[in-house]
Amino acid sequence: MKQYIRFSIVTLIFMISVAYVLILSDPSESKGWSIDDKKNWIDSCLSLGIGDNELCNCVLNKLELKYLSLEDMYRNPQEMAVSMQTISMECKK
């Protein structure tokens, strides 16, 4: 239960951080997952203690398959949170 709460809090903080960055950028200019999007996602995942490099890369790879871009992923935060939780569990197997 503690891990679920921790994961939820970290996911929420991460969502707020990325939403802030997206507000400052022009989403219409970006197509797909940029190299910076991927690098920033991995860096955030590692620095927030969500998992190790292998887990963070696994989650990112599955998110890239599910969502066309980082912006696409953040369009529906509730769906994204459920996806993150499901994908995280898949990658931990």
Angle (nearest 5°) at CA 7 between 25 and 67:
45
In a domain, 9, yes or no: yes
Given phi > 0 = left and psi -120 to 50 = alpha, else beta, which region is 25? beta
Which candidate, 92, 73, 89, places its Cα nearest to that of 15? 73
Instruction: Please give the model's pTM, rounded to 2 decimal places.
Output: 0.65
| Dist. CA 70–CA 73, nearest whole Å | 5
Q: Which residue segment(s) compose the domain that 50 sits in? A: 2-15+34-92
Domain count for the chain, please give it: 1
* Residue owning tokens 């890239």: 64
38: Cβ contacts below 8 Å, ≥ 6 apart: 60, 64
Q: What does the pLDDT look like over 25-83, one tens digit per residue?
A: 655 555 789 999 999 989 998 998 888 999 999 999 999 999 999 889 889 889 988 99
In a domain, 26, yes or no: no
